[in-house]
Amino acid sequence: MEKSSVYSRIIQVKADHLDELLHVNNVQYLHWMMESAEAHWQLRAPQVIREEFIWVVRKHSIEYTGQAVEGDELLLKTWTGEASGACWWRHFTIEKANSRTQLINAATQFALVNRMNGKPHPVRSNIISIFQDN
């Protein structure tokens, strides 16, 4: 099995990312994860495939292992995992960029949906291969 492509991005924590405890709000982490999944899809998938299919979330699993505050620089990484039927797992980590201290370990199960009929579509090898590094 080939290795999945990893999409990475750096995030600067700003004041509007914080909750009342002055830590990054849990919903903000989820927002960054979904933005990154979409960016990875946009980067790797050909337009013809993006026009035919859309991903919808089935479930999230997020383990919070640390906290970030205003001014922190974070490294978010995401990659694809196991596919079964119309479902595909995507994994995420978020860590402090300078210390590599892990803050988030997460996975989201997405379902592949045909845009025209709104029905789930099997995740086939032509989709999986888009996210594999040779």
Question: Model's pTM, two decimal places?
Answer: 0.94
Contact status, residue 63 vs residue 102, Cβ threshold 8 Å: no
Contact 34, 27 (CB under 8 A): no
Q: Sorting pLDDT into bands at 50, 70 and 90, what band is 53?
A: very high
User: Confidence class of residue 3 from pLDDT cuts 50, 70 and 90?
Assistant: confident
Distance separating alpha carbons of residues 59 and 113, to the nearest angstrom:
15
Distance CA 55, CA 120 (A): 9
- Encode pLDDT of 11-43 as tens digits: 999 999 999 999 999 999 999 999 999 999 999
CA 67 vs CA 96, 100, 105: distances in Å:
9, 13, 12
The pLDDT tens digits of the residues spanning 55-70 come to 999 999 999 999 999 9
Q: Tell me the residue length of the chain.
A: 134
CA gap 44, 63 in Å, rounded? 27
Show the domains of the chain with their CATH numbers: 3-133 (3.10.129.10)
pLDDT in tens, 93-122: 999 999 999 999 999 999 999 999 999 999
Residue 133: the pLDDT is: 84
